[in-house]
């Protein structure tokens, strides 16, 4: 019980710090969205309208900072993020709701695949010390984990999109000429658009799972209960899966929960490379357009999902590993 209260307390404090950073960073810097909007319309808005805009965006600079801060915290808790500048006059919540499914679909599915595949390969490679998998894979993935993953995306575009005369699309989430909806043609098109970005995330993230799983298995294999199982004459494959992997995967499960939290933010650069209409691409366009309300909402969304995932992973670890519970 004390464990749960502690973790919840940490969750709230971290959330507060993130929200506070989110509020103060833009305000400590020069420029504000109403002025940016003015600049975009190049003098076609008169100064009176500017005041009105500032009020509309909730950026009333006349109010003391503290009042603005308290109002901001209140609005964040109730989910009122105001109106987007880039997609004026759509409310921010609507804009975010359009981008979210794309990211969840692309990065979410890819993360699950990477985890399953990586853990499987890591298990085999750790179990067969000095086998082919064990001597080849770790060095290879040490190197791939050092590649910039937007660049891997660019190379994939070069080989599979341009190199094949556009067999796989490299731009956007779907063909703009198609009618979005639950019909076979559209769904196939969406999947085709997702292949290359998904592949570039997979190539970069799988190495981490392989290495941690391999190292966990290597450490587990040295345990007495494995020797015991061997002595009992249990089949090798059975020991690998039911004894070694089962224990070795525990730390990875917590990592998996956290990486699911990073799904929302994890692929900003990939989405940029492929012009994929997800949360990351939206965050970047919000930044370049000085769209405060949209940017703040996205940062809050990303932070909250990560924090919730960390919380879940803490509870998961405690549930699966009693030693963690008693230690705290």
Partner 1 sequence: MSAVTATAAETAVEAPATRIRPGAGVLRAVVGNKKALAGAIMLAIFVIAAIVPQLFTTIHNPNQQFAQMLPPGSGHLLGTNAFGQDIWTQLVYGTRQSLFVCVMVGVLASVVSIIIGVSAAYLGGLGEDLLSLLTDVFLVIPALPLIIVIAAYAGGGKMPVLIGVLVITGWSYGARQLRAQAMSLRNRDFLESARVRGERASYVIVFEILPTMVSLIAANFLGIALYALLTEAGLQFIGLGNSSANSWGTMLHWAQTNEALQTGQQWWVIAPGLAIGLLGASFALLNYAFDEIGNPALRPVRRRKVRR
**CA nearest 259: which of 121, 119, 153, 94?**
119
What is the nearest approach in angstroms of partner 1 to the Cβ of residue 94? 20
Residue placing its CB nearer to partner 1 in the complex, 49 or 223: 223
Q: Is-contact 114 205, C-beta < 8 A?
A: yes
Contact with partner 1 (CB under 8 A): which of 26, 105, 108, 172? 26
| Site for partner 1, residues 124 to 183, rule: CB under 8 A | 129-130, 138-139, 142-143, 145-148, 150-152, 154-155, 157-158, 162
Produce one character per residue of 20-51: b if its CB has 16 or more CB atoms within 10 Å, e if not.
eebbeebeeeeebbbeebbeeeeeebeeeeee
What is the nearest approach in angstroms of partner 1 to the Cβ of residue 186? 26
**CA nearest 210: which of 166, 261, 248?**
248
- By the rule CB under 8 A, 34 interacts with partner 1: no
Residue placing its CB nearer to partner 1 in the complex, 45 or 258: 258
Residue placing its CB nearer to partner 1 in the complex, 44 or 232: 232
* CB-based contacts of 197, cutoff 8 Å, min separation 6: 106, 153, 267, 270, 271, 273, 274, 276
Q: Is-contact 216 256, C-beta < 8 A?
A: no
Tell me which residue has tokens 């993953």.
149
Q: Chain centroid to CA 83: how far? A: 24
Count of C-beta atoms within a 10 Å radius of residue 90: 14
**CA nearest 267: which of 204, 201, 208, 206?**
201
| Site for partner 1, residues 174 to 233, rule: CB under 8 A | 207-209, 211-212, 215, 218-219, 222
- By the rule CB under 8 A, 284 interacts with partner 1: yes
**CA nearest 267: which of 42, 111, 133?**
111
- By the rule CB under 8 A, 99 interacts with partner 1: no
Contact with partner 1 (CB under 8 A): which of 197, 302, 317, 318? 302
Residue placing its CB nearer to partner 1 in the complex, 106 or 302: 302
Contact with partner 1 (CB under 8 A): which of 114, 249, 310, 318? 310
- By the rule CB under 8 A, 269 interacts with partner 1: yes
- By the rule CB under 8 A, 61 interacts with partner 1: no
Distance (Å, rounded) from C-alpha 114 to C-alpha 120?
A: 10
Contact with partner 1 (CB under 8 A): which of 96, 137, 254, 306? 306
Contacts to partner 1 by CB under 8 A: 10, 13-14, 17-18, 21-22, 25-26, 28-31, 129-130, 138-139, 142-143, 145-148, 150-152, 154-155, 157-158, 162, 207-209, 211-212, 215, 218-219, 222, 251, 255, 262, 265, 268-269, 272-273, 283-284, 287-288, 295, 298-299, 302-303, 306-307, 310
């Amino acid at each position: 019980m004390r464990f749960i209260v502690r973790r919840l307390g940490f969750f709230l404090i971290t959330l507060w710090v993130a929200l506070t950073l989110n509020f103060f960073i833009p305000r400590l810097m020069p420029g504000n969205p109403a002025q940016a909007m003015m600049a975009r319309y190049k003098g076609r808005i008169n100064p009176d309208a500017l005041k009105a805009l500032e009020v509309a965006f909730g950026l009333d600079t006349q109010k003391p900072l503290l009042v603005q801060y308290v109002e901001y915290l209140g609005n964040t808790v109730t989910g009122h993020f105001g109106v987007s500048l880039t997609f004026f006059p759509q409310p921010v919540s609507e804009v975010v709701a359009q981008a979210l499914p794309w990211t969840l679909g692309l990065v979410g599915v890819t993360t699950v695949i990477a985890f399953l595949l990586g853990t499987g390969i890591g298990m085999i490679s750790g179990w067969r010390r000095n086998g082919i998998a064990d001597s080849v894979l770790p060095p290879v993935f040490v190197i791939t984990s050092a590649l910039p993953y937007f660049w891997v995306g660019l190379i994939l575009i070069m080989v599979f999109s341009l190199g094949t005369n556009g067999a796989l699309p490299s731009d956007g989430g779907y063909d703009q000429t198609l009618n979005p909806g639950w019909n076979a043609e559209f769904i196939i098109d969406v999947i085709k658009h997702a292949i290359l970005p998904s592949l570039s995330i997979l190539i970069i993230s799988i190495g981490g799972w392989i290495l941690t799983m391999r190292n966990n298995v290597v450490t587990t294999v040295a345990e007495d209960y494995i020797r015991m199982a061997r002595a009992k004459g249990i089949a090798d494959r059975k020991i690998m899966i039911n004894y070694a992997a089962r224990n070795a995967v525990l730390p990875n499960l917590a990592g998996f929960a956290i990486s699911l939290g990073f799904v929302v933010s994890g692929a900003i650069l990939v989405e940029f490379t492929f012009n994929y209409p997800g949360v990351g691409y939206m965050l970047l366009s919000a930044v370049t357009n000085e769209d405060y309300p949209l940017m703040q909402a996205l940062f809050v969304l990303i932070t909250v999902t990560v924090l919730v995932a960390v919380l879940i992973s803490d509870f998961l670890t405690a549930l699966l590993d009693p030693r963690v519970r008693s230690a705290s």
